Structure 1
Amino acid sequence: MVRARAWTYDGTGLAWLQERLGRSGTGPGHVVSELVPSGFEAYLRIFHRFEAVDGSGRTRRWQTWAVEGGIAFHSELSHLSLPDVHGAAGERVWQTEEGALDGRSRGALARLLAGMTGDQDVYFAYDLAALSWGEEGPLVRRSRLADVESVREEVKGRVGSDGPEFWWPQDRSWVVTTDCDLLSTYVGCSNETAERILGDDELEALPVTSRTRVDWYADRRQGFRSVLR
């Protein structure tokens, strides 16, 4: 999550975005405003799809898993609140990625946003990953939205296989943020774009607000009831 940076953003492609990020304030944990800039009509959480570790290609959605376990599917749901991810023999059966929206969901999101963005260029940026990998400043690439996988492959040797941490179009009409420590991606966008994302069968998403908790223990604070039964 939020850490002390070893650089400033003046003159970088991330300067505008960092100026509009908030902080967690006095409350516990971390919130959406630390990840996604202010000023958007709508904010969403996109859950990273679980995949079977046996290589079968099987996937599992958070909502299905939650309902099967009698857990409320809500905007602050933590993977720690889901039923055990291990099989009868104790082996791990399902996994999902920190810091990277799964490829299937990433492709679906890129295609959907392309319909809203048209031909304008899109920026793909790495911040904490660049810092962690010893870069001298944020790493920003400008390309077409359809090139997200090519950009990921190009920078993998410099910042790893996560991310992009931030992507946004030239008109800044939306921002996608995937923090390196989280199992969900957050989006700031227009109401129209939000409706399209929420209605897409390939994406598992819920509306959030700028104050929605995003950390692993979001729904484990005292007094919060996530269990349906």
Structure 2
Amino acid sequence: MQTTDDVERGAWLTQRMEQGTGSVSETTGTGFDAYVRILHPVPSPDSRREPTHDGSWSTRRWADVATRNGRRMHRLVQWGRLLGLDDPDKDGTSDVGWLDPGLLAALAPILEEATTTPDDLFAGFWEGGNGQDLPRRRVLDGPWRSYVLARTDIDELTATRWAAAMDPDHIDGLGTISLELLWPEDHAWALGAEIDFDSTVIGGSRALIDAILADRRFEAYEVAEDDDLTWDSDTVNRPAPANLERN
């Protein structure tokens, strides 16, 4: 990826983001036909210490943790609530906002089919996090965060090597760099991965959202643009005793 100062190219999206709501539209903007929320796979406890025999890190599916803990899966489920927590910063939840480049690579071919400009994409990195060490002179100001922009394409996202190139300390499967925004030049869809949330949201056509929902590789739910994604929005699973799986 190459960073760019052409931040006006993102104004169409930030103008559609609703400030201070903690909603889907704050992350991805209003006005799309449909929205999907993709839950971020969470590293298993052992994977935080060493990789498996093939060099990869294992992850847990949310549904498996929910079953073990007697919790319920639903479209607004929150990772902390699956663990029975009443504080989003306790017991291993701090990295759940990270969009794994491997997950993005799996999404890339589906996103490619939903745009006429797969070779002309823009990625946004929060200037206070992943973007702070990237070269730039200007940033895209959103209602909540400001972003360093980079030019990219579907092929680069599919290969995943971009993460290591942008972050020398990146380790495949347990890296540190993660993009927070992504959209094509034709504005057919937008992807948002707010670091304080535990999922990635994509807004786009009905066909795109249906294709993602139908792919069993993803734990995904359709959501509405005004749905609350903050850590305590899960009113189905409430804080629980300390005997639940929390690592």
Range of TM-score over shorter length: 0.7 to 0.9
Return the match for 1:34 from 3, 21, 26. Answer: 26
Partner of 2:44: 52
User: What TM-score do the two structures reach when normalised by structure 1?
Assistant: 0.75
User: What TM-score do the two structures reach when normalised by structure 2?
Assistant: 0.70
Q: Is the 8 A contact 1:42 1:194 kept in 2?
A: yes
- Alpha carbons of structure 1 residues 162 and 99: separation in structure 2 relative to 1, 3 Å: farther
Shift in Å, 1:67: 2.8
The worse-fitting range, judged by mean Cα deviation, of 139-148 and 37-46 is 139-148
Shift in Å, 1:143: 2.3
Q: Deviations over 1:108-148 (max 9, x none)?
A: 11122123336441111123446972764322222211213
Aligned length: 202
Shift in Å, 1:103: 3.5
> C-alpha separation between the residues in 2 aligned to 1:115 and 1:132?
28
Q: CA RMSD in A?
A: 2.9
- Alpha carbons of structure 1 residues 142 and 136: separation in structure 2 relative to 1, 3 Å: closer
The residue type equivalent to 1:197 in the other structure is: I
- Structure 2 counterparts to residues 1-229 of structure 1, below 5 A: 12-24=8-20, 30-54=22-46, 55-56=51-52, 57-83=57-83, 97-117=95-115, 119-129=118-128, 133=132, 136-138=137-139, 139-148=148-157, 149-156=160-167, 161-219=176-234, 224-226=235-237
Q: Is the 8 A contact 1:49 1:61 kept in 2?
A: yes
The residue type equivalent to 2:109 in the other structure is: R
Structure 1 regions of 5+ residues with no counterpart? 1-8, 86-91
- Alpha carbons of structure 1 residues 83 and 131: separation in structure 2 relative to 1, 3 Å: closer
> C-alpha separation between the residues in 2 aligned to 1:70 and 1:131?
35
Structure 2 regions of 5+ residues with no counterpart? 86-90, 140-147, 169-174, 239-247
SS in 2 for 1:117: coil
